[in-house]
Structure 1
Amino acid sequence: MPKVSRPQLPKGYVDAPISEVPWEYVEERLTTSKHYWMCSVRPNGRPHVVPRWAVYLDGKLYYDGSPETRHARNILENPNTTVNLEDGQKAIILEGISIPAPKPTPEFAQRLVAAFRKYAEDGYTPEATQWDEGGLYVFTPRQCLAWTIFFENPTKFIFD
């Protein structure tokens, strides 16, 4: 479980929060969401934002794609990334690192395939062996900011 605290906000933003967002809520949203916005950093320092399909398993976000994409090339030089869900009112903002994942074990590959089924209606159904030669990436969060009502419950989660 991550450590729970409050984000550092300027005076006047949220001076008297009354609750916290439960981590279980954040995990549910990360698991059921279909669209994740990932920001990596280009070699020249400019940001690069791209929507990704991903699955949340064991506290990490897994996604796949060609190693030739701008995003994949960026993270090889600088793994620092952010991930945001699409909802700005009930926000979940993750900060962490994204790296190429090792070849998954057959058991974990099956779990990935099962989790990626949420994209079947969109025409994407990966095979368990498709990541044997690479193309799978893993995002590990360092911290997460979340709120369901900004003035009531902004919450910061820190991962060790």
Structure 2
Amino acid sequence: MEPLPPRRDRPRLPDGYGLPADDEGLLDWREVEARLIASKHYWLASVRPDGRPHSIPRWGVWVDGRFWYDGAPTTRHALNAEHNPAVTLTLESGTEVVIVEGRSLAARADADDLGARLSAAFGKYADDGYAPAADAWSGADGGGLRVITPERVLAWFDFPKDVTRFRW
């Protein structure tokens, strides 16, 4: 189920960054979401139980307005998210920026519904040797599937003209 579109506005930045005072040039959510869908490489940042940060590249897919990724529940990022689900997900570019702030939770997906859609989306990694079947996440443990539900996204493709904050 597709979530409601987010509200958009300008974030607060310190004086001197040249942020426009009006809403002219704000990005459209569909343009930002298209980059989240198309990307193959993401960076996931979480916090260890002792407060130290942890960042790791991840493969995943943007489906139904959320980021879905998998891995062993014993990985550092999964253990961190179990302790503190607040995470940040970013794309690779430092000039065409998308920063997703949200919560990462363990999930599962039935093969004949969400699992099939996730499997199709993960097809972008087939040439890299990763092509999970639709039932990969249907077991009791969810096959290590996790989902990040966005709470806030910051994005810009032409800083500072189009800096946009999206909130749900």
TM-score range, shorter chain: over 0.9
Superposition RMSD in Å: 1.1
The alpha-carbon deviation at position 130 of structure 1 amounts to 1.6
Q: TM-score when scaled to structure 1? A: 0.95
State how far apart, in whole Å, the 1-side matches of 2:110 and 2:101 are: 24
Q: Identify the match of residue 20 of structure 1 among 8, 21, 26.
A: 26
Unaligned stretches of 5+ residues in structure 1: none
State how far apart, in whole Å, the 1-side matches of 2:47 and 2:26 are: 31
Question: Per-residue CA shift, 1:79-102, capped at 9, x if unaligned?
Answer: 000000001101000101001013
Q: Which has the higher contact order (CA 8 A, sep 6+)?
A: 1
The alpha-carbon deviation at position 129 of structure 1 amounts to 1.5
Alignment length (residue pairs): 159
The alpha-carbon deviation at position 108 of structure 1 amounts to 1.1
The equivalent residue for 1:47 is 53
The alpha-carbon deviation at position 107 of structure 1 amounts to 1.4
The equivalent residue for 2:79 is 73
Unaligned stretches of 5+ residues in structure 2: none
The alpha-carbon deviation at position 104 of structure 1 amounts to 3.1
Report % sequence identity: 48
Q: TM-score when scaled to structure 2? A: 0.91
Contact 2:86 2:104 in 1 (8 A): yes
Equivalent position SS for 1:39: strand
The equivalent residue for 2:7 is 3
Contact 2:111 2:138 in 1 (8 A): no
The alpha-carbon deviation at position 36 of structure 1 amounts to 0.7
- Which moved further from structure 2: 103-112 or 37-46? 103-112
The equivalent residue for 2:129 is 123
Q: Which amino acid aligns with 1:147?
A: W
The alpha-carbon deviation at position 105 of structure 1 amounts to 5.0
Q: Which amino acid aligns with 1:10?
A: P
